[in-house]
Structure 1
Amino acid sequence: MTDPQDGPGAGPDAEHRSADVVVVGGGVAGLVAALECARLGLGVVVLEQAGRPGGCVGRIDLDGLALDSGAESFATRNGSVAELLGRLGLEDRIVPPNRAGAWLAWGERGELRAAPMPRTGVLGIPANPLGEDVRAIIGWRGAWRAWLDRIIPILKIGRAERLGPLVRQRMGAAVLDRLVTPISAGVYSTDPDDLDVDVVAPGLNEAMTRAGSLSGGVGQLVEARRAGSAVLGLRGGMHTLVDALVAELARFGAEVRTGVGVTRLESRPARASDADAVASSWRAAGRADDREVVVDARFAILATPAHVSRALLAGVAPEAALAEDWPDAASVELVTLVLDAPELAAAPRGTGVLVAADAPGVTAKALTHSSAKWSWLAESAGPRQVVRLSYGRAGATNPLSGLDDAAVTELAVRDAATLLGVSLDVAQVRACGRSAWRDALSQAAVGQPERVRALEAALEGRTGLALTGSWVAGTGLASVVPHAIEAAARIRHLAVRIADDA
């Protein structure tokens, strides 16, 4: 481990740490990267601003139940999350969700309508536009317009970049507004007009070319999916992944320090006396309980949200790389209700409801009937029902901003009753919790991958620094986990090379 280095910005009363690697940001990306380094024998210190690590894989305790306050499942694509869970000894806790599936709510002639989401599709784009489940939502007129995709020559559009215009041109506004937009809002908190097709639906452009239509390309992707559920969860909640990561880090001697808001990241010249010094070392400095905390390390991994990372990179990255016009982060708030509501035991809307923007009388953009979706939670909750609502659409002010807890509870109960088609009252609420995520920046937006690559290229000369997290890796654990492992591998490779040269 390196020795602390004195220098500007570290007062005499500062709390010093030294490490081989300092990881700024204790979300899952930071924890996974830290663990990969710690397993090599590197001394690691993780600094996290919140009182608990995990980031968007959070926990909320309501009425004696430990519930997920953020991500509640993971995508099975690429197998990276399942592999990580296996290494942590959690493979026997992996569980599938209820296969009943979700519903969709929309407005029609001023009234709220609801129907099960079509089974065969990608991001709401149907493989069979004339299917009964599709017609139930977009009607015969919308279905026939969508079917025209089968006879419109695909060569007229070339390679599609934006999801919204692609769907609108090939299948019409009904498919876009009723089926695709609610999923885009729920998964990416982004308007489909701003989503990069190659990021959110890899292989779709190629499949369209082979099939000669958008629906045909979607059908090919559906057929290529591996058997089984597209998402899985953990018995006890996804937040148990964070507990396992923290425990494993402790086993390898890594330190996870919470309550430290890092405000500076500096590249510092290495001392001539360091026989194994790299071209530069790193200092992360912040505050905890009105005291400065300083960590000096040979390597740094930055795993904070986009706006925090860009602020910390000022003075480290070239100014031009940070001057790009980056999109605004999404503001999403989740409201979790624990209810005495036996009328919900039959899961009247399957595992939940996605909400189209034109749905009348509803403020939420999505609802998850958590105790219907996960059998382990139904067992834990007993007669109680657990419902989670999501608020905040792309480009709009979050509707919960400025509301107190009582007003939020009333609104959530009203929305839940409307979406689930039952009568609910605030008196049935045993507990209500709020979880706000106001700094989520999707890498799926058009131009964002290029902005990230340009920033990473500009940082290549900064030896011993790696970036990770959803804003550079993409949405979801299946994107974040392999990216974090790759970021740590670059640091580990450099550390091994230094050790070999010493």
Structure 2
Amino acid sequence: MLAGADVTLIEASDRLGGAVAGADVGGVRLDTGAESVAARGGAALALLRALDLPVVPPAASGAWLQTTRGAFPLPAAGVLGIPGSPLADDVRRVIGGRASLRAWLDRVLPELSIGRVENLGELVRRRMGQAVLDELVTPVVANVYAVDPMEAEVDSLAPGLNGALTRTGSLSAAVLALRAAAPAGSAVQGIEGGMHLLVPALERDLARFGVPVRMRTPAETLRRIESGWEVALAGETLTADRVVLAVAGGTARALLAPLLPRAADDLADWPDAHRTTVVSLVVDAPLLDAAPRGSGVLVARNVPGVRAGALTHSSAKWPWLAAMLPPSRHAVRLSYRGAAADDVGEAQALADAAQLLGVAAADLSVVGSTATQWRQESQRALIGMRRRIERVRESAAELPGLDVTGAWVAGTGLASVIADAERAGRAA
């Protein structure tokens, strides 16, 4: 609209916002999807500020790790859980002295080759050992990026790590170099009141610019015509000079397949998005006033009795949320990768929350709860997928007036999605 174009937004569902959503739980509105945004790149934060949304950092309370050996603060000097100082006390507490020494040998063993490596898990295991992979890297990568490190591409999740490894000669030194080069300040930011406030702010902007929004209107086919593009909807068609395809991966690939015969092999057999259920709890629990597990807990594999992969102590992480709640009332959220909402009940979430927070279930009195199921597009992080996506985009770029965006091509997280969507909007 700012460029003088007439824009129509077509939305298949009955709400805007995708993975940005909120729900009323126990008398307070909580984020049930994305609850923060990475500060990297600046595009996401610039959008929030342009919409006059109050951007705030989380509390400096730190996260924890739950392993089979116990619960420990997450080591500070790391990237994707890879320690920059393997002999530091906070690393040794998690993996033990012997495993820390094995990780430190990354600095001195010349037979460990240096160079560009694709497989993140193999890189970590080969240079620092299995314990670092299992108890530090896997809980971070699997729960934050929804991908197994043994299937993850280094350059997708940690751009610059391969180059730093070549320059410095060790993985731990490469991690420290990346951290030193990172801008100062919190790695993530939020909106005071919750990330869900982004959706009504964008809706107000659409109304301000007079953009028609068609809800519950899925696109059935997309066809190139002489004058531009034709979009078939249920019972009607729309024509347009340009189309920005910003839909879920499966829908996008179905619409693109007839248009991109040269990319047929790349579009076929695409890895599925991951199903994740988020359970939000509001509890009365005086024992949580001291935030015994900081801002939350990432869970290693095979922890007995715990199904959740991660817990966020939301009211400890976000001071604005704590201020909205009565004394000793807390908001927590748990993530269950691979689980349907019907498979995770309040009792399971309560039991997991108690164990991860180091209290008894009887010490948590539930005021309200809700479960929300999401599909998390993490394919870009898989080995080989980045180049595959580039080939699809290169093929789409040969069709004038078409641009493709969305998490399935942009990558995990709002920062990646927003930056890529702005690029697509400018191209259109």
TM-score category of the 2 structures, normalised to the smaller one: over 0.9
Following superposition, the deviation at residue 250 of structure 1 comes to 1.2
Following superposition, the deviation at residue 426 of structure 1 comes to 9.9
2:98 counterpart residue number: 141
Q: Distance in 1 between matches of 2:7 and 2:225?
A: 18
Cα 1:217/1:468, change in 2 over 3 Å: same
Say yes or no: does 1:442 pair with 2:379: yes
Matching residue's letter, 2:174: G
SS of alignment partner, residue 472 of structure 1: helix
SS of alignment partner, residue 436 of structure 1: strand
Mean alpha-carbon deviation: is it higher for 321-330 or for 171-180? 321-330
Say yes or no: does 1:48 pair with 2:11: yes
**Corresponding residue to 1:298 among 226, 237, 241:** 241
Q: Distance in 2 between matches of 1:45 and 1:154?
A: 59
Following superposition, the deviation at residue 386 of structure 1 comes to 0.5
Q: Distance in 1 between matches of 2:20 and 2:236?
A: 25
1:30-89 Cα deviation digits (max 9, x unpaired): xxxxxxxx2212111111122211111112222232211111111111111121122222
Query: Please, what TM-score do these two structures have when normalized by structure 1?
Result: 0.82
1:431-478 Cα deviation digits (max 9, x unpaired): 111111125233111111111111112222321110011111111122
Cα 1:263/1:441, change in 2 over 3 Å: farther
**Corresponding residue to 1:286 among 233, 255, 263:** 233
**Corresponding residue to 2:408 among 471, 478, 497:** 471
Following superposition, the deviation at residue 417 of structure 1 comes to 0.5
SS of alignment partner, residue 450 of structure 1: helix
Q: Distance in 2 between matches of 1:185 and 1:66?
A: 28
Please tell me whether the aligned partners of residues 306 and 352 of structure 2 are also in contact (alpha carbons under 8 angstroms). yes
Say yes or no: does 1:105 pair with 2:66: yes
Matching residue's letter, 1:429: V
Say yes or no: does 1:356 pair with 2:303: no
Say yes or no: does 1:432 pair with 2:393: no
Please tell me whether the aligned partners of residues 306 and 441 of structure 1 are also in contact (alpha carbons under 8 angstroms). no
| Structure possessing the higher radius of gyration over alpha carbons | 1
Mean alpha-carbon deviation: is it higher for 220-229 or for 320-329? 320-329
SS of alignment partner, residue 426 of structure 2: helix
2:264 counterpart residue number: 320
Please tell me whether the aligned partners of residues 49 and 55 of structure 2 are also in contact (alpha carbons under 8 angstroms). no
Say yes or no: does 1:307 pair with 2:250: yes
Please tell me whether the aligned partners of residues 112 and 127 of structure 2 are also in contact (alpha carbons under 8 angstroms). no
Q: Distance in 2 between matches of 1:65 and 1:255?
A: 31
1:461 counterpart residue number: 398
SS of alignment partner, residue 266 of structure 1: strand
Matching residue's letter, 1:423: A
Alignment of 1:360-379 (within 5 A): 360-379=304-323
Q: Distance in 2 between matches of 1:220 and 1:347?
A: 31
Matching residue's letter, 1:351: S
Following superposition, the deviation at residue 430 of structure 1 comes to 1.6
Cα 1:81/1:399, change in 2 over 3 Å: closer
Q: Distance in 1 between matches of 2:231 and 2:361?
A: 50
Cα 1:399/1:81, change in 2 over 3 Å: closer
Mean alpha-carbon deviation: is it higher for 43-52 or for 178-187? 43-52
Please tell me whether the aligned partners of residues 245 and 404 of structure 2 are also in contact (alpha carbons under 8 angstroms). yes
Alignment of 1:225-304 (within 5 A): 225-270=182-227, 281-287=228-234, 292=235, 294-304=237-247
SS of alignment partner, residue 130 of structure 1: coil
SS of alignment partner, residue 68 of structure 2: strand
SS of alignment partner, residue 142 of structure 1: helix
Q: Distance in 2 between matches of 1:311 and 1:323?
A: 9
Say yes or no: does 1:336 pair with 2:299: no
Q: How many residues align?
A: 426
Q: Distance in 2 between matches of 1:61 and 1:232?
A: 22
2:419 counterpart residue number: 482
Give the share of equivalent positions with the same residue, in percent. Answer: 48
Uncovered stretches (5+) of structure 1, i.e. residues with no partner: 1-37, 271-280, 393-397, 492-502
Please tell me whether the aligned partners of residues 301 and 467 of structure 1 are also in contact (alpha carbons under 8 angstroms). yes
SS of alignment partner, residue 310 of structure 1: helix
1:5 counterpart residue number: none
Say yes or no: does 1:388 pair with 2:325: no
Q: Distance in 2 between matches of 1:95 and 1:262?
A: 37
**Corresponding residue to 2:181 among 224, 227, 250:** 224
SS of alignment partner, residue 55 of structure 1: coil
Q: Distance in 1 between matches of 2:259 and 2:75?
A: 48
1:35 counterpart residue number: none
1:129-149 Cα deviation digits (max 9, x unpaired): 000000000001110110110
1:227-251 Cα deviation digits (max 9, x unpaired): 1111111101111112211111211
Uncovered stretches (5+) of structure 2, i.e. residues with no partner: none
Please tell me whether the aligned partners of residues 321 and 454 of structure 1 are also in contact (alpha carbons under 8 angstroms). no
1:297-320 Cα deviation digits (max 9, x unpaired): 121110111111001113222162
Cα 1:83/1:192, change in 2 over 3 Å: same
Following superposition, the deviation at residue 105 of structure 1 comes to 0.3
2:57 counterpart residue number: 96
2:32 counterpart residue number: 69
**Corresponding residue to 2:289 among 345, 352, 356:** 345
Cα 1:380/1:166, change in 2 over 3 Å: same
SS of alignment partner, residue 233 of structure 1: strand
